[in-house]
Amino acid sequence: MKIYSNESDIDKYREVMADLFSESRDGVWEWNRVNGKIFLNDVSAEMLGFKSGRDTFNMKDIIQIVNPVDLEGLKAFFNMHFNGEKTYIKHLFRVRGNDSSWKWILIRGKVILRSKIGNPAYLAGIITCMKAPEYLRPSKYSKISKLKEINRMFTGFTPDYYRNISVIVRNVALVTGSFMSGYIKCKGGISEIISEYNPEGKDLLDEILVAFPESYFLSEKCPQKTVLKISLKSGFFLIISPVFMGRNLIGSLFAINSVDFSLTDDEKELIKILCTAVFVEENRFKSEIALKERQDHINLAIKGGNISFWNYDIPERKILFYGEWNDITGWESVSEDNFNIFFSSVFHKDDAEEVRSLYSEFNDLMVSGIDHRCRIFSKSGEVLGVRILGDITDYDKNNGAIKISGVIIDETRLRNYHRSLEAANRKLHLLSGITGHDVTNQLCILKGYLELMGDEKCDNDLISFGLKECLKVAGMINGQVEFSGDYRNIGMEKPAWQDVGNIVLHLSEMPVFSDVSIKTEIRGVEIYADAMLEKVLYNLIDNSIRYGGGKTEINLEFSESSSCGRLVYSDNGPGIADDIKETIFLRGYGSNTGYGLFLIREILDITDIRISECGYEGAGALFVMEIPFGNYRYSGAVDERVCGNMVSDFTLDSEREYFE
């Protein structure tokens, strides 16, 4: 193939080609991709609707006349030829003619020159004006065909509002033979909307206001006349007025008849359906925005309030959960197959039957609503306190309640905050009493002895006695100060799992207890308690030494009852009389500082461990510590029934009033 290398050669080539096609319906085209120029002979230019006398164009000129519906296919065919997938170019598309109608054009050609690296540099070919394909000719659009086409147009809408509007307007253009080329830039890309084609050159907005006074608000919302419009044949217009709501662009579509109206009844009906569909789509879009905003607010409240939703289908015996419940318990739904397993594994064993009975009472119309507090186990073993609220949402007069719905509120943190506040107030009151009352009393006693010893009449025996008493008082003050420090530290650290056997072993190795026999067979038992649990056992051993006399022997055992775990501490001392078994735990009781057992009870109370003295006088002391179900576990093979990370017993009488 001969490649022409200069302008004179190209001009001669064009003359030859023009002579060849002068008597045919074909026109010649060339495209220099290096400088971007496109050459069209007179036949081609006239065929494409360009004014005579011009032979050089650019790609922008061509794109403006090509139907947007066909543009992507045309580009794709050229690219396939460039990549070698097609040996030549042959494609059918539509262009806008001088009479504003669509013309079908068949383009043929190929690359005749490539660059050194193989990129297409020069293309040439011919174009031919064709009749519309049979399946697209207007005669096919009968009334029934149009209505079927409308049904197809508005099937399968998606939440993408801009794309829906684009599809609607594109289909209007396709069915009515109208032009479409306008664009609206919006978040997420560019959506093709409608044309600004107005063959008569009139101010479309003014005509709209004259023909439809009720559309006057358009001039208020669009002072810059930013009205996008599509021109249909016979002067019929569809317009979209863009209005910004926050970050969302919303359009209002109107059908306008300006000048001569000559559409058929079928075409009027078509436009009416199109307008109705767009109005419906716009309202749906607005509703979706409002619904999403409300849903975001609700989700924020649910997450912040630790709320989960549940729905119980009684006939199906199926419970569905929404929200945080799955993250907390690992259960998304409950069916008849695992109904019993759910209640026994999720709810605390003391609460499971009571919760189950509430659902039965609902079915028998014995209750009008649920408002119940109970304990549940999280999937990590944590014991949580929750409040269950619900009511009947579907009812059948023959079968009773069909559906129950409600919410589950995790109140664990609220309860812990309440308990922490109470503990802090109690500490402040007690510590202020120690510094402001107890220490002052001891200082007064110390001052009295010092004044007595300073008297000239005081003999050596009296001075010796006074010194002993002063040392005793100083020891009392020191004990009170030490207690203040220990008491202040209670609850300062988060409770943790602690191995009882390891604590006992550590205490037995302390030099201060070298003369004490400490025995235990506890192995692998962990208790969830305050970080000062070791201080509890230390004080118990110290008390046994102080009051026991002789060789002190200590024994610790652990057992499990139906309701709790029991850590039993016993010694070989004289025991405790029945009438003071509770008094010994009061602050200030005892022959020393009087804070040992009081401090023990305060430490254990942090995680609801109850301590009591259950021995017999003359047979040694016997302290029983009752550990709530869920606050003890066996290390190694952990039993999920007794594994937990935090105690949350919501049935305590002392706290019932607060939560009710």
| Tens-place pLDDT, residues 17-76 | 555 555 556 788 999 999 999 998 888 888 888 877 777 899 999 998 888 878 888 898
**Average confidence (pLDDT) over 478-500:** 69
| Side-chain-facing half-sphere of 262: CA atoms under 13 Å | 5
Is pLDDT larger for residue 133 or for residue 227? 133
Average pLDDT of the residues in 238-246: 41
CA distance 101 to 319: 63
H or E segment and range at residue 232: strand 228-232
Higher-scoring residue by pLDDT: 168, 179: 168
Can you give the pLDDT at residue 356? Answer: 75
Give the C-alpha separation, 188 to 174, whole Å: 25
CA 412 to chain centre: 21
Q: Between 192 and 497, name the one with better pLDDT.
A: 497
Interatomic CA distance for residues 15 and 9, integer angstroms: 10
Percent of the chain at pLDDT above 70? 56
CA contacts within 13 A on the Cβ side of 245: 12
Q: Are 426 and 418 in contact (CB under 8 A)?
A: no
Buried b (16+ CB within 10 A) or exposed e, 71-96: beebeebbeebbeeeeeebebbbbbb
* Single-letter code of the amino acid located at 609: I
CA–CA separation, 346 vs 354, rounded Å?
13
pLDDT band at 462 (very low <50, low <70, confident <90, very high): confident
How many separate helices (H) and strands (E) can be counted in the chain?
A: 19, 25
Q: pLDDT over 90 for what percent of the chain?
A: 7
Task: Please name which of 558, 597, 552 lies closest in space to residue 572, comparing C-alpha atoms.
Answer: 552
pLDDT for res 115: 87
Closest CA relative to residue 409, chosen from 333, 308, 303:
308
Burial class (CB in 10 A: 0-12, 13-18, 19+), 423: middle
In angstroms, the CA 323 to CA 311 distance is 12
Q: What is the reported pLDDT for 37? A: 92
* Average pLDDT value for residue range 598-626: 87
Model pLDDT, residue 362: 57
Please answer whether residues 27 and 127 qualify as being in contact, where contact means their C-beta atoms are separated by less than 8 angstroms. Answer: yes
Q: Which of 463 and 15 is assigned the larger pLDDT?
A: 463
Cα–Cα distance between 611 and 597 in angstroms, integer?
Answer: 10
Most confident of 44-58, 138-152, 200-214, 234-248: 44-58
Task: Output the DSSP codes for 474-518.
Answer: HHHHHHHHHHHHHHHHTTSS--EEEEHHHHHHHHHTSGGGTTSEE
pLDDT value at residue 78: 92
For residue 384, is pLDDT > 90?
no
Q: Averaged over 203-227, what is the pLDDT?
A: 37
The whole-number average pLDDT for the span 448-456 is 71
From edge to edge, which strands make up the β-sheet containing 370-377? 333-334, 318-323, 307-313, 400-410, 383-396, 370-377
**What's the whole-number mean pLDDT along residues 550-579?**
87
**Which helix (H) or strand (E) covers residue 5, if one does?**
none
- Split at pLDDT 50, 70, 90, the class of 346 is confident
pLDDT tens digits for range 482-492: 656 655 665 56
* Amino acid 487: pLDDT: 58
User: Which amino acid is present at 424?
Assistant: A
Tell whether pTM > 0.75: no
C-alpha separations of 411 from 389, 645, 649 in Å? 13, 16, 11
Per-residue tokens: 333: 């739904």
Instruction: Tokens for 328, please give them.
Output: 């907390």
**426-435: pLDDT as tens digits:** 655 555 555 5
Q: What is the 3-state secondary structure (H, E, C) of 587-601?
A: CCCCCCCCCHHHHHH
Q: In the predicted model, what is the mean pLDDT of the chain?
A: 68
pLDDT higher than threshold 60 for residue 387: yes
Choose among 252, 222, 92: nearest CA to 161. 252
Length of the chain: 660
Stretch 216-243: mean pLDDT: 38
Give the tens place of pLDDT for each residue, 639-652. 333 333 333 333 33
pLDDT of 453 > 90? The answer is: no
Q: State the number of CA atoms in the 13 A half-sphere of 293 facing the CB.
A: 9
**From the CB of residue 113, how many other CB atoms can be counted at a distance below 10 Å?**
16
